[in-house]
Amino acid sequence: MDDTPGDNTNRRQRLEKEKSPVAILHDGVYIYANPAYLKLFGRRDLSEIRGKPVLNTVKTRARDRFIKHIEEAESASGNTPALPPTRLSLVRRDGSRFHLKATFRACTLDDKSCVEMWLSAEQEKVLSRARPAIRWRYYLSMAFLVLFSLLPPVLLPALDIDNDPNVYFPDDEPAVILDEKLRAQFPNDQVYILLFEGLALFSDDVLNAYNKLARTLERNPLVDKVYGLTTQDHIAGSEDGFLIEPVINIRKLAKTTPAERRQRAVADRFAKNALVSSDGSAISLVVVPVTLENSMQRLQLEQEVLSDVQEANLENYLTASTGFIPQDIAELRSMLRDNMIFIPVTVAIGLFLIWWLFRRWLAVILAGISIGAVVSSTVALYVVTGQPFTLISSILPPLLSALTIAALVHLYNALQYASQRGISGQARMQ
């Protein structure tokens, strides 16, 4: 409660006995300071600071906040309770700096409207005792940040990227059990079909290259069978019974013309609309692999198949590929491509948003490090737990990037608001 003008003597006597540092300001200059305040700032007598600007004892970076609190206290009435405390950086006579908690309130002294400033001397002791704990937590936090930033990238090369339909269902699912029983009796449907179109498909050069490709693929350890015009059997009647030979016999090319070969292929009821189109304008090669367990094995098979096609000089004739394997690989590539697009775009937009809102490069750098640590650590959990990274899992990196940015925006905004209120240091984070 404020004293009346007639109680100035009592006020001074009371403040002289006060252990907490107290100063009274008028128009930004000192008009009174108790012994505790003088001792704190290395002064022997009140005359050393009376009439001196109070800003001389305030650190430059804290002056705007100090002035704001002084103005708020001056605009308050004498009966208004003390304003919320604020942390200030102050400067002693010898130039040393220290941090204290300051409380401001309006008062009257010698018929003048003044501001009473109370400093909490105990705060400095608390901070000094807290420094070892804060320092220990700081180093521990930095260690965790470095760990989560550097360790996950080491694990990511072992990530099992798989889009196999079986990974989406548990092993005891009735549909999975039935599928396994069927595959035990019937061939798997993991096929790779190559479609060739162009001029002179049934010429000697093209058919020799086509047969070379089929034989090369048959020797591939990932391939079980290859069905083509030069490998598929054709059964025809003969004088002695029947004759079994390929639909197009490479050894007898010299005895036939391209038109005759086309007619023979189209006339075969098993090859028509399977290995050759009904008009003979396109031929196919059906590759049946061994049982492939995941999408990466299928990707490896596709790379080897396309490499063999190029080696056989048939890349200009290959117009399309279809089947379960190309479809799975297309989905896999789409998943990887989307991640390569959306993750950088999400991060770039988020970092720009943080810079635009707060204009602090430190905030942008910390946001980038945090996003990298969160995303890579989460994806690395798939490696640690042995779980496949699927099409559904691929939504996590951009989602986590966006959520991390949103959380950081809220955090930075709260810190900025606390700073405007004069709260700093650990109290600002709390």
Query: Model confidence over 136-167: pLDDT tens digits?
Result: 777 888 888 888 888 888 898 888 888 887 78
Which residue range(s) make up the domain with 337?
Answer: 159-163+331-429
Could you tell me which residue, 320 or 8, shows the higher pLDDT? 320
Residue 109 backbone dihedrals phi, psi, to 5 degrees: -145, 125
Note whether 301 and 382 are same-domain residues.
no
Cα separations (Å) of 224 from 292, 314, 343? 11, 22, 39
Closest CA to 295 of 321, 322, 339, 333: 333
Written as one letter, the residue type at 417 is Y
Using CA atoms, how far apart are residues 411 and 428, in angstroms rounded to an integer?
11
Question: Is 43 within the bounds of a domain?
Answer: yes
Using CA atoms, how far apart are residues 426 and 421, in angstroms rounded to an integer?
14
Half-sphere exposure of 201 (CA within 13 A, CB side): 25
Taking residues 172-191, report their average pLDDT.
79
Q: Which of the listed residues 322, 350, 384 is the one where a domain comes to its end? A: 322
Judge whether 390 and 167 are in contact, CB under 8 Å: yes
Taking residues 382-407, report their average pLDDT.
91
**Residues near 65 by Cβ (< 8 Å), separated by ≥ 6?**
86, 88, 422
Q: What is the pLDDT of residues 252-287, one digit of tens each?
A: 888 889 999 999 899 888 888 999 999 999 999 999
Note whether 118 and 25 are same-domain residues.
yes
Note whether 272 and 243 are same-domain residues.
yes
Note whether 238 and 316 are same-domain residues.
yes
Q: Which of the listed residues 302, 322, 342 is the one where a domain comes to its end? A: 322
Judge whether 261 and 248 are in contact, CB under 8 Å: yes
Helices (H) and strands (E) in the chain, counts: 12, 11
Question: Is 44 within the bounds of a domain?
Answer: yes
Question: Is 141 within the bounds of a domain?
Answer: no
Could you tell me which residue, 89 or 341, shows the higher pLDDT? 341
What residue spans of 268-360 are helical by DSSP H?
295-311, 324-358
Q: Which residues of 100-119 are buried (b: 16+ CB within 10 A; e: fewer)?
A: bbbbbbbbbbeeeebbbbbb
pLDDT band at 81 (very low <50, low <70, confident <90, very high): low
Note whether 48 and 23 are same-domain residues.
yes
Question: Is 220 within the bounds of a domain?
Answer: yes
Note whether 318 and 338 are same-domain residues.
no
Can you give the pLDDT at residue 289? Answer: 93
Note whether 283 and 347 are same-domain residues.
no
* Positive or negative torsion for Cα 30, 36, 41, 45: positive
Residue 333 tokens, joined: 């590539």
Is the predicted pLDDT of residue 317 greater than 90, yes or no?
yes
First to last CA, the chain: 31
Note whether 310 and 370 are same-domain residues.
no
Note whether 209 and 310 are same-domain residues.
yes
CATH number of the domain at 90, please. 3.30.450.20
Note whether 200 and 315 are same-domain residues.
yes
Bridge partners (DSSP) of residue 99 are 89
Taking residues 88-96, report their average pLDDT.
80
Using CA atoms, how far apart are residues 33 and 50, in angstroms rounded to an integer?
8
Strands 112-120 and 282-289: unpaired
Closest CA to 331 of 209, 180, 87, 168: 168
Can you give the pLDDT at residue 1? Answer: 43
Element (H, E) at 220: none
Note whether 310 and 354 are same-domain residues.
no
Cα separations (Å) of 365 from 347, 351, 360, 361, 370? 12, 8, 9, 6, 9
Question: Is 267 within the bounds of a domain?
Answer: yes
The string of DSSP codes covering 27-66 is TTEEEEE-HHHHHHTT-SSGGGTTTSBGGGGB-GGGHHHH
Can you give the pLDDT at residue 236? Answer: 63
Max CA-CA distance within the chain? 140
Count of domains observed in the chain: 3
Q: What is the pLDDT of residues 44-75, one digit of tens each?
A: 888 888 888 888 888 877 888 888 888 888 88
Q: Picking from 38-42, 170-174, 184-188, 342-346, which range would have the lowest pLDDT averaged per residue?
A: 184-188
Half-sphere exposure of 6 (CA within 13 A, CB side): 0
**Residues near 369 by Cβ (< 8 Å), separated by ≥ 6?**
145, 149
Question: Is 229 within the bounds of a domain?
Answer: yes
Could you tell me which residue, 425 or 295, shows the higher pLDDT? 295
Using CA atoms, how far apart are residues 42 and 274, in angstroms rounded to an integer?
99
Q: Which of the listed residues 80, 106, 127 is the one where a domain comes to its end? A: 127
Using CA atoms, how far apart are residues 210 and 214, in angstroms rounded to an integer?
6
Using CA atoms, how far apart are residues 321 and 193, in angstroms rounded to an integer?
5
pTM: 0.60
Closest CA to 60 of 88, 33, 87: 88
Question: Is 170 within the bounds of a domain?
Answer: no
Question: Is 144 within the bounds of a domain?
Answer: no
Note whether 9 and 114 are same-domain residues.
yes
